[in-house]
Amino acid sequence: MRVIVAGGGYAGLATLIALRRSLPEVEIHLIDPREHHIKLTHLHQTLKRPLSDFCIPFAVLAKKYGFTHHRLALPISADNLESWEWNRTIPLPKGELAFEYLVIATGAKPHLAPGGKQVYQRDDFCRREGQEIIQNFLARTENKERHITVVGAGATGLQFLFELDDLLKSHSIDRQLRLIQRGGRILSKLPVGFHDYIAGRLKSAGIEHLPYTRYRGQHGGSIKLENTRTGESFTLPSDLTLLFPGVDPQPQLLRADRYGRVIVGHYPLPRIFTAGDCSNFDCSGLNSLTAQAAVRKGKQVAANIKRLQQGRLPYIYSYDELGYFVSLGPLDGIGWMLFKYNIITGLPAFAIKEAIEMQYDWFVDGVDLYF
Ligand SMILES: Cc1cc2nc3c(=O)[nH]c(=O)nc-3n(C[C@H](O)[C@H](O)[C@H](O)COP(=O)(O)OP(=O)(O)OC[C@H]3O[C@@H](n4cnc5c(N)ncnc54)[C@H](O)[C@@H]3O)c2cc1C
């Protein structure tokens, strides 16, 4: 049997590792334009550490888990999916590659927002060293007042913000740091206790917080902003702008049935599955754009491919979230465990977040502690 996985992020890798473990004979192909698997949940730490600390070359993983890596992007669209299902092949530069099952796990891409010379987004940190971005900024702004803006009060924006704050403070670098967000509440999908704790941390760290503010673009050393309640436009100085306005499924949201099979029109494609940030399963299982959901969906898809191969019924995806944690710089964090109002903060939250990261590291190393 041959399985092709498109996308070697959390979901794709989880599918691939689980498949290799449960079906040792399966032939696996990974399609991904990158050279490395990137542990995105650590990306904010690249402000202090090399990107390579959080990357694993696909060549190394291919050796360990026995798969072939094709370095290209699969052109995914509803028409192509139907035609691949029909022909049971995908086109590759060297010819067609036939499959028994295809898994689409292509993740999510940042919302489109106007860039600029001093504006950096998620993908810049996937391509360049975060330390180099900060060094360039410091060199550029020597002997002047430094203004830094982080756009977006989701988990990514907050983790970058507090990591940067700690980095600059530890080097006694004077700076004006600000967080801007379109809405009024930080981590708006979580209980208000999250907002209150983080707002307190922003205040004690001397970070300016501008709610109800939309980023409109950057010109030279200033950012253009708009008050989302009054529509009033204004500008503020910003020598470095980190843009994390949220993500959208890439290249599009793929609807799936409760087993993870892609739905095109009204019907699931029997041989094409999806998992991770690009997917929405039609059931009560967790569909959030998180690594936790991505790994669980990836493992579920692998289990269902095995069951179908054995002529058994697939499982329904029913993973229920057990908790969610974000770090707020070294030794601080916030999250919930077991139920959303059981909020844990400070060092214990940071320690749990570290344990969650370790669970994934072990999984990639071959020790599965997910349940
Ligand atoms: C800074 C940061 C911090 C985060 N912190 C947390 C956290 O604390 N907890 C949490 O649960 N989540 C967190 N997340 C979110 C988490 O990283 C994502 O939910 C997770 O990466 C989704 O996994 P995925 O496999 O769906 O996509 P990804 O990990 O993004 O992988 C997608 C892969 O698909 C490949 N690809 C894209 N297009 C194609 C194509 N056309 N053909 C082939 N391959 C393609 C890409 O190259 C990539 O390798 C964080 C994200 C960021 C950026």
pLDDT tens digits for range 99-134:
999 999 999 999 988 888 899 999 999 999 999 999
Pocket test for ligand 1, best of 30, 32, 158 (most atoms within 8 A of CB): 32
CATH superfamily of 2-109+248-321: FAD/NAD(P)-binding domain (3.50.50.60)
Closest Cα to atom 15 of ligand 1 = 290
Burial class of residue 128, CB neighbours in 10 A (0-12, 13-18, 19+): middle
Query: Which atom in ligand 1 lies closest to the alpha carbon of residue 247?
Result: 53
Predicted TM-score of the model (pTM): 0.96
Does the structure show a pLDDT above 80 at 371?
A: no
Residues of the chain with CATH 3.50.50.60: 2-109+248-321, 112-245
3.40.50.2300, 2.120.10.30, 3.40.640.10, 3.50.50.60: CATH of 112-245? 3.50.50.60
Closest Cα to atom 3 of ligand 1 = 41
CA of 40 to the centre of ligand 1 (A): 6
Q: Which pLDDT tens digit goes with each residue over 58-84?
A: 999 999 999 999 999 999 999 999 999
Structure tokens at 152: 């977006």
Angle between helices 346-365 and 291-309 (to 10 degrees): 30
Which pLDDT does position 272 carry in this prediction? 98
User: Does the Cβ of 357 fall within 6 Å of ligand 1?
Assistant: no
Structural element, H or E, at residue 215: strand 213-219
